[in-house]
C-alpha cells in the first residue's frame, strides 16, 4: 500500500450518471429521452425526488425536491418508485467490471467508487474509454470517469463532464481548472462549511488554496487545513479495498406523513425504526454500545441526543428502550416531522471474540459486562456462528435511508 502511495499514482473515480433513473431506462428503453424521476410515495409528504433524468433536470427538477414542486416545474414528469433489487444487481455488475481491471477498488456508494490502476499498465485514457464503453454496452448505463494522481482530484474531475464524460485533472492544471470553481462545488464542503468559508471571504476553491492555515483553523479547526491541502491538490489517502468493511454506526430514519405530537404514533415509529436497525445489524453481524436519537421538528429544527451503554446491544427491544428514554428526556412536546435511530460504536461480533484471549478474559471479566454478553451470544448462536451467520434467515428488508450503505454488504460477499 505504501509503495502505491509514494509513487505517482493513477486514480480513477467512476460516477454513474443519474444511476437509478438510468437503470430504469436500461430496463425499459421507452423511458429514454423522457423526464423521469425516481421518488417515494407520491401521496405522502416524504415523497421526494431521489434522482432524476437529465431531461427532468433541464426543467428544474432537483434531487430532494418535493414531488409536488417537481411536477409543478415539469408537468409531464414521469414518477417511478425505486426498485432497489434492480439497482443492487446493476451495482454488483459494475463493480465486477472495475475489479476485472485492478484489485484496488474502493466502493463509496452504490453508484460510485475509486480505482487505483497505477500497477495495471497500459494507457489510462484507453483503459477509461474501454471501461466506459463496456458498462454502456453490457448494462446500457452511462458513467463519467475522472482521472487524476489522487482521489480528491479524481472525484472533482468526474464531476466536470457529465453525462458519459472522461476528464483528466493533473496537478499542474488545478489553478486553471479547479481553482475558479465556487467553493460550494468542492467535494467535502457542505452547505454549513461553505457559509463559514464565505464569511472569511473564501468564495472559490482558489481562495481556499491561498488562505493562510491559521485563519482556516480558527473557523474549521483541523479540517480547515485538510481542505486547504486538497484545494492545493494534496491528498495521500489510498484507494483502500478494505474500507468497505468499515462501519461505525447503523441507523434508520423516517419522515412522518404529517407533523405529530401523538405519543402512540411516535412510539410506533420508534418500534419500526428499531426493527429496521436490528435487521441491518444482523446482516452485518454486528453489535453496538451507543444509541442516538434524531428528532426533526415541524420547523425543521433538528437535534440529536445519544446515550453510551455499558453493554453491547443488538436487539430491537434494547434499541427501543434507549430510544424511548431519549425521546422522553429530550422531546419538548412540539410537533415532530422525522425521527431517526442510530446504533453507534459498532463492532463486528467476530472481531470482539478475537480480542478476548484467555488472559484478557480472566483479568477483565469482573470489570466488564461485555464478556457476559459474548458468552450469552455464543451460547445462543453457537461458537462459530459469528462468522457464518446465515443471511437467508434474516427477513428481506426494503432499504430506506440506509440503502446507499447497505449495498456494501453485497460487495463484501
Q: Give binding residues for Mg(2+) as ranges.
A: 15, 111
Q: Which three cell numbers stand for residue 319?
A: 434499541
* Neighbour-count burial for 6-25, b at 16+ CB within 10 Å, e otherwise: eeebbbbbbbbbbbbbbbbb
Out of 112, 133, 265, 334, the active site residue is 112
Catalytic: 112? yes
Angle between helices 222-231 and 213-220 (to 10 degrees): 130
Cβ contact 185:46 at 8 Å: no
* DSSP code of residue 344: E
Q: What nine digits make up the cell of 167?
A: 476528464
Backbone torsions φ then ψ of 311, nearest 5 degrees: -115, 160
Residue 273 DSSP SS3: helix
CA distance 125 to 230: 24
* Strands 49-52 and 347-348, sheet pairing: unpaired
CA–CA gap between residue 184 and residue 194 (Å, rounded)? 6
* Cα(274)–Cα(320) distance, integer angstroms: 6
Cα angle value 222/345/278 (rounded, 5°): 135
Residue stretches of the annotated binding site: 15, 111
CA separation for the pair 77, 68 (Å, rounded): 11
- Sorted by sequence, the CB contacts under 8 Å of residue 321 that are 6+ apart come out as none
Active site residues: 112
Amino acid at each position: 500500500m505504501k509503495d502505491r502511495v509514494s509513487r505517482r499514482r493513477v486514480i480513477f473515480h467512476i460516477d454513474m450518471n443519474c444511476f437509478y433513473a438510468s437503470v430504469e431506462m436500461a430496463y425499459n428503453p421507452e423511458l429514454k429521452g423522457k423526464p423521469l424521476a425516481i421518488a417515494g410515495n407520491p401521496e405522502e409528504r416524504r415523497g421526494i425526488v431521489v434522482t432524476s433524468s437529465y431531461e427532468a433536470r433541464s426543467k428544474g427538477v432537483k434531487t430532494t425536491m418535493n414531488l409536488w414542486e417537481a411536477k409543478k416545474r415539469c408537468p409531464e414528469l414521469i414518477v417511478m418508485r425505486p426498485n432497489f433489487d434492480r439497482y443492487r444487481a446493476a451495482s454488483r455488475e459494475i463493480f465486477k467490471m472495475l475489479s476485472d481491471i485492478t484489485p484496488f477498488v474502493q466502493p463509496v456508494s452504490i453508484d460510485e467508487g475509486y480505482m487505483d490502476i497505477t500497477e495495471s499498465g497500459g494507457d489510462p485514457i484507453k483503459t477509461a474509454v474501454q471501461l466506459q464503453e463496456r458498462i454502456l454496452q453490457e448494462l446500457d448505463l452511462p458513467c463519467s470517469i475522472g482521472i487524476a494522481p489522487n482521489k480528491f482530484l479524481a472525484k472533482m474531475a468526474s464531476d466536470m463532464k457529465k453525462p458519459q464524460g472522461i476528464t483528466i485533472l493533473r496537478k499542474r492544471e488545478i489553478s486553471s481548472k479547479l481553482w475558479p470553481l465556487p467553493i460550494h462545488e468542492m467535494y467535502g464542503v457542505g452547505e454549513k462549511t461553505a457559509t463559514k468559508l464565505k464569511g472569511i471571504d473564501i468564495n472559490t476553491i482558489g481562495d481556499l488554496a491561498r488562505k493562510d492555515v491559521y485563519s482556516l483553523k480558527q473557523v474549521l479547526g483541523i479540517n480547515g487545513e485538510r481542505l486547504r491541502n486538497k484545494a492545493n491538490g494534496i491528498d495521500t489517502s489510498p484507494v483502500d479495498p478494505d474500507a468497505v468493511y468499515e462501519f461505525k454506526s447503523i441507523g434508520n430514519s423516517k419522515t412522518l406523513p404529517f407533523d405529530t405530537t401523538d405519543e402512540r404514533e411516535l412510539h410506533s415509529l420508534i418500534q419500526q425504526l428499531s426493527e429496521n436497525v436490528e435487521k441491518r445489524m444482523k446482516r452485518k453481524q454486528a453489535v453496538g454500545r451507543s444509541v442516538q436519537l434524531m428528532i426533526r421538528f415541524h420547523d425543521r429544527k433538528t437535534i440529536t441526543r445519544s446515550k453510551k451503554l455499558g453493554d453491547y446491544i443488538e436487539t430491537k427491544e434494547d434499541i427501543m428502550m434507549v430510544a424511548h428514554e431519549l425521546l422522553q428526556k429530550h422531546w419538548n412536546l412540539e410537533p415532530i416531522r422525522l425521527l431517526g435511530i442510530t446504533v453507534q460504536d459498532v463492532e463486528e461480533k467476530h472481531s470482539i471474540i478475537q480480542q478476548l484471549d484467555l488472559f484478557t478474559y480472566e483479568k477483565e471479566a469482573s470489570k466488564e459486562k461485555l464478556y457476559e454478553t459474548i458468552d450469552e451470544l455464543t451460547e445462543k448462536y453457537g461458537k462459530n456462528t459469528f462468522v457464518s451467520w446465515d443471511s437467508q434467515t434474516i427477513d428481506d428488508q426494503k432499504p430506506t435511508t440506509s440503502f446507499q450503505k447497505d449495498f456494501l454488504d453485497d460487495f463484501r460477499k
